[in-house]
Chains A and B, each alone.
Chain A
Amino acid sequence: MQKIKNFFIKQQPLFVVLIALMLSLVAIGLLLVATNRNPFAALYYFLRGSFGNLYNTADTLTRMIPLAIAGVAFLIGAQSGVFNVGIEGQLLLGAMASAIVGYIVKLPAVIHLPLMLLAGCLAGGLYALIAAWLKAYRGINEILSTIMLNYPAFFFTHFLVLRVIKNEGIVPATPFIQKTAELPILIANTKLHAGLIIVVLVSIATYWFLQKTTLGYEMRAVGKNKEAARYHGIPVEKRMVLSFFLSGAVAGLAGAVEIAGMHHHFLDQFSPGYGYDAITVAMVALLNPFGVLISGTLFGGLKTGIMDMSVYAQIPRQLATLINGIVVLFIAGKSMIESSYVRIFKGREHVFETGKEKKQ
């Protein structure tokens, strides 16, 4: 018995998030009942639409790719104490830069593809530096600055697609990238592309960087306690700027992979808010670089499952966005779950240990 208890105590963060997800599910179910929809039918069509057959599962995994990479982008920032809500803008610019490199440059595939992905990283990373500078040296709240930066990025790509490097066609888009810049398809007759391998590589590299290198350690130290890190001689501002750059670079990579693997050209407004979904994905993953693979699949499934849900169970498509909000809401309020959790598994006297935050 004690062993089981200890297991639950040790895995508290994981179970708290699982409970938060369950509560979100209940809340969504109640909402569907309130709007005269059958929540069980919704769940059935969600599962069928997202994982029902090979094609749908591959589609879900394809959707997982940008979500998980963007989720990694968010968690790199969040682990170092910066909330990069500008992933959407960095992703768009990364996608645009890579689409341009993919179209204009003519090189063999071995060089062209990495070069194109690198262009995406650079565009995203450099754009994130604006917010980094504002936060580290001007004391401007990064949530405000990064959200504001999303708008110019959107208008800029919109402008390029409409007026500068446009393609003949109904949908505004850039011309298609060269064959040498495309990521290969993994399973024939599906959209699943080699971006899947890139996601896994990004997760491993991020884990290694954050956990096994001095720089990563210092960045996490800044995230845990800025003042303590400063007393340890860690250059806090520099580490913040670095984490912003890396976060933006990974966000840019997410965009580049979408172009190289999925669309093969920059479609205007191709991102259905991946940058905002990334926040939910990373938070559900407990800011763990491997966790985003699981939560990314879950939310990728939501994006494919919503199609069947809207067709067969009359569920509005906006539910997908709404679920994000509800999940973040429950995770933001998770200290309520934590205190009951602690009461059950550790006993009443430990309750006050949670929810008590140190004053800075």
Chain B
Amino acid sequence: MNWLETFKTVFSLALIYATLRGSVSIVFAGMGEMINERAGVLNIGIEGIMLMGALAAALGSYFSGSPWIGLLMAAIVGIVIGLIFAFIAITLKSVQAIAGLAIFLLAAGLSGFILQVIFQHGGNTPTVPTLPMVRSEFLESIPIIGPIFNNQSILLFPALLLPVLIWFFLYRTPWGTWLRAAGENPQALAVVGINPITVRYLATLAGAMLHGIGGAYLSISQTSLFSENMVAGRGFIALAAVIFGNAKPRPVFFACLFFAFMDALQISLQTAVPENIIPREIFMALPYILTLLLLAGFIKRTGGPADIGNPYNREAR
């Protein structure tokens, strides 16, 4: 095989196109998780909420014929599961990690169960209508930008805008300050008359809605059906992205893009490198191994919110 040719086919504009295409769900999920963590709630159940979001979107799209209804369903289902999680983690003050784990296990079983009940067979749904793609001849004619942004899902653009909006919300509005205070020092927030529990609830629900939308992207835009376990660890990758980015909008966004890039690279290498030289399974394991290596290498974690993972007790001082 010709190594130079392989290199050229792998590292092309198509790789950047694929990176952006794959980043949408991770960015939505990562941004949602960032909001959660900023308010002091560690939600390990992202993967589960995304899975249910993907299922809800596919079903909504299938039965209504409109992918937008599907997207709405995913957001609603995200909020509902977020509510279950919030109730256990915030009101019942359970260990947040276990509450998240419960959501993950619940969603894995529930999505398969619902699929089986509705379609009488497991595996996947029939093909469903998908969200529109952004196509324009003008965009296509621009060099570099064209091949990257043309023919992308309509959800890519809100995904690129989301970090800016969340940054503005967190650092330039009073609500954002309350939200960050709920994660840093909820007692102080209570002193100024804002109930940290309310703030944490709202943040969890908002985050869960974004997780749901991130899942919806997988089933009604990136592909056109729901299949069991289709989220395939993206929720956990988003969680890792928030850790890398210290729960700050810009670093988290770039971490999400980086992981999407690794995944795109992995898929591209799979097709470009013949199987008898490097087998496929090695590439498939690559994103996870790399994430772990990076986690191991990031020595200085300055941050994350101070009160993350701790339930808020009114009695505690």
User: What is A's interface to B at a CB cutoff of 8 Å?
Assistant: 31, 35, 83, 85, 130, 133-134, 138-141, 143-145, 147-149, 151-152, 155-156, 158-159, 162-163, 276, 279-280, 316-326, 328-329, 331-336, 352, 355-357, 359-360
Cβ A322 vs Cβ B92 within 8 A: no
Cβ A325 vs Cβ B105 within 8 A: yes
CB distance from A241 to the nearest CB of B (A): 15
A-B contact pairs, 25 of them (CB 8 A): A130-B292, A138-B299, A145-B292, A148-B236, A151-B285, A162-B279, A279-B101, A280-B105, A316-B113, A316-B117, A319-B109, A319-B113, A325-B102, A326-B109, A328-B98, A328-B102, A328-B106, A332-B95, A332-B102, A333-B87, A333-B99, A355-B92, A356-B93, A359-B310, A359-B316
Cβ A322 vs Cβ B112 within 8 A: yes
The 3 closest A-B pairs by CB, nearest first: A322-B109, A325-B106, A318-B112
Contacts of B97 on A, CB cut-off 8 Å? 83, 141, 143
B107 contacts partner chain A, Cβ-Cβ < 8 Å: yes
Q: For the complex, would chain B's binding face be called helix, strand, loop or mixed by DSSP majority?
A: helix
- In the complex formed, the residue of B with least CB distance to A159 is B281
* Cβ-neighbour of B117 out of A35, A320, A333 (below 8 A): A35
- In the complex formed, the residue of A with least CB distance to B228 is A318
CB distance from B283 to the nearest CB of A (A): 9
Q: Are A316 and B92 CB-contacts (below 8 A) given A144-B44, A155-B281, A356-B313?
A: no
* Cβ-neighbour of A279 out of B99, B105, B112, B240 (below 8 A): B105
CB distance from B3 to the nearest CB of A (A): 22
Q: B123-148 toward A: CB 8 Å interface, digit per residue (1/0)?
A: 00000000000000000000000000
Q: A319-B113, A320-B109, A326-B106 are in contact. List 19 more A-B contacts (CB 8 A).
A: A138-B298, A139-B301, A148-B240, A148-B288, A148-B291, A152-B289, A159-B281, A276-B105, A317-B116, A318-B116, A321-B105, A323-B109, A326-B109, A328-B102, A329-B102, A331-B102, A333-B99, A357-B311, A359-B316
Q: For the complex, would chain A's binding face be called helix, strand, loop or mixed by DSSP majority?
A: helix
Complex Cα distance, B93 from A257, in Å, reads 38
* Those of B274-295 within 8 Å (CB) of chain A: 279, 281-282, 284-285, 288-289, 291-292, 295
B155 contacts partner chain A, Cβ-Cβ < 8 Å: no
Q: Are A163 and B279 CB-contacts (below 8 A) given A328-B101, A332-B102?
A: yes
Complex Cα distance, B311 from A35, in Å, reads 36
Residue among B116, B281, B289, B313 with max Cβ neighbours from chain A (10 Å): B281
Complex Cα distance, B96 from A335, in Å, reads 13
- In the complex formed, the residue of B with least CB distance to A144 is B239
Residue among B87, B102, B233, B288 with max Cβ neighbours from chain A (10 Å): B102
Contacts of A323 on B, CB cut-off 8 Å? 109
* Cβ-neighbour of A144 out of B115, B240, B310 (below 8 A): B240
Cβ A134 vs Cβ B296 within 8 A: yes
- In the complex formed, the residue of B with least CB distance to A326 is B106
Cβ A148 vs Cβ B292 within 8 A: yes
B14 contacts partner chain A, Cβ-Cβ < 8 Å: no
Cβ A325 vs Cβ B109 within 8 A: yes
- In the complex formed, the residue of B with least CB distance to A157 is B281
- In the complex formed, the residue of B with least CB distance to A139 is B301
Complex Cα distance, B100 from A141, in Å, reads 13
Cβ A324 vs Cβ B109 within 8 A: yes
CB distance from A357 to the nearest CB of B (A): 6
Contacts of A324 on B, CB cut-off 8 Å? 105, 109
Complex Cα distance, B87 from A336, in Å, reads 10
Complex Cα distance, B275 from A101, in Å, reads 28
Contacts of A35 on B, CB cut-off 8 Å? 117
Complex Cα distance, B283 from A155, in Å, reads 9
Q: Are A151 and B93 CB-contacts (below 8 A) given A138-B299, A144-B239?
A: no
